[in-house]
Each structure stands twice: as C-alpha cells, then as structure tokens.
A and B are shown apart, each in its own frame.
Chain A
Amino acid sequence: MTGSTRPTVLPPWRPTAAHFRATLLGVVGAVVAVAMNRPDLLVLITPWLVVTTWAWLRRPQEQVTVSTAVGHGTLREGEATVLRATVTIPDGVDDVVVAVSPSVFMEQDPPLGIRVIGLSEGRPVGDDVSTRRAGAAVVVRSTRWGARSVGPVRCGAWSTWGAFRSGPVDSESQRLVTLPLPAVFTPTAPMPHPEGLVGAYRSQRPGSGSEFDRLRPFQVGDRLRRIHWPVSLRTGTLHVTSTYGDEDSQIVLVVDGTSDLGPREGLDGRPTSLDLTVRAAGAMAEHYLGVGDRVGLRVVGAARVPRVPVGSGRAHLRRVLGSLALIEPATDRDDDGEYAIAGIGAGAVVFVLSPLVDPAMVDVVARLGSRGLTTVVVDTMPEHLWRSENDPYTSLAWRLRRLSRSVDVHRLTSAGIPVVPWRGPQSLDQVLRELTRRARAPRMARR
C-alpha cells in the first residue's frame, strides 16, 4: 500500500432521529397507557421501549477512526488498484459505511463505491477485545491518463439499533497518477542522424560495432581477436575484419498541449486529439528508449509540466510518461513555444506531435525547421471529429478548420518539414527513410 493517510477520527456520537422517535413514543406511550389504564397500548409501545433501552445500554464509548490507502500510486490507463479503508470499530457499533466519492475517469467496483462493514467483519486489535479493526476495499480502474484524486472517502458509523451516529466525515483524497497507455509503434526505418558511441543504428564510419564493413590489412591498434586467419594465411599478410560503429540517436518529442479536441471518453471510447498526442508520444518514447536512444520531452501550452532532458533507460521512460500524465491542456496560453524548443542539440531529431490547430504550434514547427533541425510533424488530429458529425453547421465549421489547417500543412511541407498523420505502428517509416536519405546530401539552413 502506498500513500496511507493519517487516521481520521470520526466526530462524537449523536442520537439519531430514530432514537429520538422511539424514546418519545415509548415514554409518552407508557405514561398514556398508565394514565388511561390501557395495557394494549403498553404492548404496542413495548418494542420502542425495549429498543431505546437496549440502544442506550450498548451505546459506544469510543470513537471510530478511519484511514485510507491506495494500492498503487501510479497506474497505466485501463489498470486497476485497490483503495482500502481501514476502520477501528469500538464495542457497540453496528455498521460502518465507507463510500468512495465518484471521480471522473475512474470506474469503481462496487459500482457506487459503497461498502458497509459490520462488527462481525472486524478482528480484535491486540489484547483489546472491545475494539476491532476491519478493512473495506474498493477497486478503482483508471480509464484515462492524467494526475487526479481518488476520493475523498466518506465514512459514517451507526451504533446498536441505529440509535447513535458518528459522522459522516470525509477523509483525505488519494492522488493517483495514470500514465498513458502507449500506442503500438514499431518502426523499421533507421534514424537520420545517429550519433554517440553505442546504440542500434549503423554508423557511417568504421568502428567497434557488429555490422560487417570489409576485410583490410592489419594496422597498429587493431584488436587481435579481429584477425581473420583464413584470409591472412591465404594472402601471407595479416588481415582483420572491419565493422561499422554503432550509434544512437537523440530524439526530442515536442508535444502540443495547447488544445484538446473532441469528447473525452477515456480508454474505452474515442480518443481526443490530446489522447492521440500523449499516447503517440508515449509509444515513441517507449520504442526509442527501448532500442537505446536518448529521448527528451518538451511540452508547449501546458503549465506545470517540466522539461525532460534527453536521457536513456527504463527509469527515463518512467520520467517521460510521468510528465506526459501531468499535461493539462491550454493551461499556459501565453506560451509561444520558445522555451520548449530552446537548447535542442544540432544532431537531434525533433518529432512535433500536434493536431496543428493552434497557430503557435505551426510557428514553433516553422522555427525548428528554419534552425536546420531535422523535424517531423506527427499529425494527431482524430478524424472521427468530422466524420461522425451530422450537424450541418458543425460540419461546415470543421470543413473551414480543415481548409485552414491544410494551408498550414502546405506551408510546412513547402519548407521541407514533413507532416505525417499518426496511423500507429509504422506511421513514420516512409518519412524517416526519406529523411535518412536527405541527411546524407548537403543542404542549406537559414540561421
């Protein structure tokens, strides 16, 4: 369990309306029965008198405490964890009701998040048999990426015969970060600018790699294990096997957090533009970090999302996904993207993931291209936004928007910046091959 809250002590016990009603009817009824000499009335009010007396004798002397803990502080979309409430039940308590308030993009089991704990479910606490401890678990399943709260957990307790009540009170909410579930991304094309010392891409230069280059005469400094003995014996001079070096790439993901288009339906529904953006960025980060590249993340238009410098490894993937989960769209309207794209290394390949709706993002892409950086725009505009639209006016609005977008796209492609719609596993293969080919040719850049 992580993130256990401090125990919340429920307020003092107070009589309920039922107890007041039973006491009043019982006592007044008894007086009237005696005054009017009506034994049948006495029989009628006997249940109220018995219940009142019983409840009074068994009233709790101590207060209930509740603490909550969530099983996992971080989830992937579609995964579930358990929100567990632990309550101490003093003697004389019948039921403790624990209810988890519904949260957006959180499914609960039981569906309403309500658990009622009876005294019999409790276990004695140490040697004190008068106080028991019991737990109630509510399964919560997150259906959309993001950082949000679960709860608060509302807790109330009822004494014997429901005569006294404590609470309900709300305990602290639990913070739960849901990492995006990356889409499938399995490109087969090489990266245009491999650099560095280790990685998955073949270098242009010979080096200590694994891909065969040629057989050449031995030179001072060659490793002895590289000597190719059959050729050396046949030619009479020592020959070695030469290989190409291995290199990795530096990849910078620039994510458009300026807008989120479409209805938010979570993992099981249709994606919004930001859903596509975040899941595509997650997929690319997962793939490239998996093959040994270095990946950085910059977000435009969303406040409180730190820049993630380039790095590698599984821990870095966790950092990238965690930052993606923090994106709240359009929380920084003044962001022109300059801070995000500042300091990107010359050899980096920049992937801009954007639906290209905000003019600021188009400018950001144009600036990246003008600086000579290899830039690819991944278009994350979901097509269902206009395909399923039946309203003629909304359709017209979308048509105008798409015309405007096509002008922007044309402007970028004219400047040599490819714009590729996100289509899943091998969306970028073609464009990466072309960029690799282009990278070998001389070029000019405006600086």
Chain B
Amino acid sequence: MSTPPPAPARQLRLVRLGLSEEYGVPQLLLGAVVILAPVVFLAAMILAGAGFTWWFLVLTPLAAAGAARPESTGHLVLWVLLLVVWVVGVPGPFTWWSVPAALAVAASHTALVLLGGRPMSGDLAADTWPRVRRRLGTVGAITVGVAVLAQLVRSIRVPGQVALAVMALVAVSVWLWWGTRQAGSDAEPEA
C-alpha cells in the first residue's frame, strides 16, 4: 500500500541573525560574500590612493544589514555610494586596482542574485557552484579585457578613449549575443 518508513529525516542546521529568517549554510556563505565585497572594494580603493578609511565603519554595517534582504534598494544605495566615493577619492583616470574592485562587484552581484527571492534555507541546485564559477570566470575575463583595453587606449593617448572603451564593451556584448545564437539553446556564452 505504501513505502516503508524512511530513515529519520536528517537534521538541518540553521542560523538566525537577530530577527532575521533562518539561514542555511550556503545562504550564510553568500551573505558573507555580500558583506565582504564592499570591504574588498574599499580596500582596493584605499590601495588605489583614496584616503577614506573611515568609510569602512559606515558602509560595512550597511552591507551587513542589506545582506539580510537581498532584494532591497539598500544595495543600490550602497553601491551608488561606493562608486561616488571611488570617483571622488581615487585620482583618475585609470588604476589597475579597479580590476579587483570590479571583481568584488561581480561577486557581490552574483551572491545577491543567488540570495534574492529564493528561500533563505535549503540546499542550492546541484549545478549552482560550477555554473557560478564558469560565469564569474567569463565576467572576470571580460573585465580584465576591458581594463587592458582602457589602459592601452590611454597609453596611446587616443582622443575619446572612454567612448572607445564603451564601444569595445558594446562589441563584446554583440559578440556574446552572436555566440549565444550560434551555440544553440543549451550552451551558455563563453568568454
């Protein structure tokens, strides 16, 4: 008539932060990424020459509070603030420290995407981590490519260098789109 009783259900360890929902282990790791990404961004900013160490004290708790609600506008405000601080604090026009800062941006966005809307507890899909690694690799490679392009254009002192970089980015997007069309419905665009 029915299946025999299964083994006792496995216990799931959950953590509650203050009044928040209960978090599973993968979600806690993603939350840590969300909190640490602004710290990495600020560290890169300081190494790039900005003197805003006290922002650590303001923005990190903001990130921690925002991590509990990944779909809140707090993250938008946080990253706008960080970009403004970068533009104001870091002497331009280019620094290689923008690459690790951009990678922190990518990591933060990926973590927020995985946290956003989904249950705060429970396992992720089996293919989540390989997929995330592959995609972050692609985004990182494109970011490095853009940085190299920007540095190259700046070094040869071409007028309108940033506009050229934007055009290059658009070209990359078109290439991605073309790659997606060619690879069919199953494949994901490769860097």
- CB within 8 Å of B: which residues of A? 16-18, 20-22, 24-25, 29-30, 32-34, 36-51, 53-54, 57-58, 71-72, 74-76, 78-82, 91, 94-95, 97, 99, 107-112, 114-121, 129-130, 139, 141, 156, 158, 160-163, 165
Query: Are the C-beta atoms of A44 and B3 separated by less than 8 Å?
Result: no
Query: Are the C-beta atoms of B119 and A97 separated by less than 8 Å?
Result: yes
Pick the contact of B6: A80, A120, A121 (CB < 8 A). Answer: A80
Cα–Cα, bound, A260→B6 (Å): 29
Interface residues of B in 1-59 (CB under 8 A from A): 1-6, 9-12, 48
Closest residue of A by beta carbon distance from B151: A39
Give the Cβ gap from A351 to chain B, nearest Cβ, in Å: 26
Contacts of B169 in A (CB 8 A): 30, 42, 46, 49-50
Chain A CB within 8 A of B67 CB: no
Query: Are the C-beta atoms of B113 and A162 separated by less than 8 Å?
Result: yes
Give the Cβ gap from A66 to chain B, nearest Cβ, in Å: 16
Query: Are the C-beta atoms of B176 and A53 separated by less than 8 Å?
Result: yes
- Closest 5 CB pairs between A and B? A114-B122, A118-B125, A162-B113, A39-B150, A47-B106
Query: Are the C-beta atoms of A91 and B185 separated by less than 8 Å?
Result: yes
Give the Cβ gap from A368 to chain B, nearest Cβ, in Å: 34
Query: Are the C-beta atoms of A112 and B5 separated by less than 8 Å?
Result: no
Query: Are the C-beta atoms of A114 and B121 separated by less than 8 Å?
Result: yes
Most central of A18, A161, A163, A165 by chain B CB within 10 Å: A18
Contacts of B12 in A (CB 8 A): 110-112
Query: Are the C-beta atoms of A72 and B1 separated by less than 8 Å?
Result: yes
Pick the contact of A25: B4, B80, B177 (CB < 8 A). Answer: B80
Contacts of B76 in A (CB 8 A): 20-21, 24-25
Query: Are the C-beta atoms of B154 and A75 separated by less than 8 Å?
Result: no
Contacts of B102 in A (CB 8 A): 43-47
Closest residue of B by beta carbon distance from A124: B186
Known: A18-B116, A39-B154. A95 touches B125 (CB 8 A): yes
Contacts of A112 in B (CB 8 A): 12, 119, 121-122
Known: A57-B177, A107-B9, A118-B125. A32 touches B185 (CB 8 A): no
Query: Are the C-beta atoms of A161 and B113 separated by less than 8 Å?
Result: yes
Closest residue of A by beta carbon distance from B79: A25
Contacts of B65 in A (CB 8 A): none
Interface residues of B in 68-118 (CB under 8 A from A): 70-73, 75-76, 79-80, 83, 86-87, 90, 92-95, 98-99, 101-103, 105-106, 109, 112-114, 116-118
Pick the contact of B10: A37, A45, A95, A111 (CB < 8 A). Answer: A111
Closest residue of B by beta carbon distance from A29: B83
Known pairs A16-B116, A39-B162 / 11 extra A-B pairs, C-beta < 8 Å: A20-B76, A37-B93, A38-B92, A41-B83, A42-B146, A49-B169, A54-B176, A80-B6, A109-B6, A111-B12, A118-B127
Cα–Cα, bound, A156→B118 (Å): 8
Query: Are the C-beta atoms of A97 and B113 separated by less than 8 Å?
Result: no
Chain A CB within 8 A of B147 CB: yes
Give the Cβ gap from B76 to chain A, nearest Cβ, in Å: 5
Cα–Cα, bound, A109→B5 (Å): 12
Closest residue of A by beta carbon distance from B97: A40
Query: Are the C-beta atoms of A95 and B176 separated by less than 8 Å?
Result: no
Query: Are the C-beta atoms of B153 and A39 separated by less than 8 Å?
Result: yes
Query: Are the C-beta atoms of A34 and B122 separated by less than 8 Å?
Result: no
Contacts of B139 in A (CB 8 A): 46-47, 50-51
Contacts of B106 in A (CB 8 A): 47, 51
Contacts of A163 in B (CB 8 A): 113
Cα–Cα, bound, A95→B127 (Å): 10
1/0 contact trace for B148-177 toward A, CB 8 Å? Answer: 001101100000011101100100110011
Contacts of A53 in B (CB 8 A): 173, 176-177
Contacts of B126 in A (CB 8 A): 118, 120-121
Known: A54-B176, A111-B9, A111-B10. A17 touches B128 (CB 8 A): no
Query: Are the C-beta atoms of B173 and A116 separated by less than 8 Å?
Result: no
Contacts of B60 in A (CB 8 A): none
Cα–Cα, bound, A54→B122 (Å): 27
Contacts of B6 in A (CB 8 A): 80, 109, 139, 141
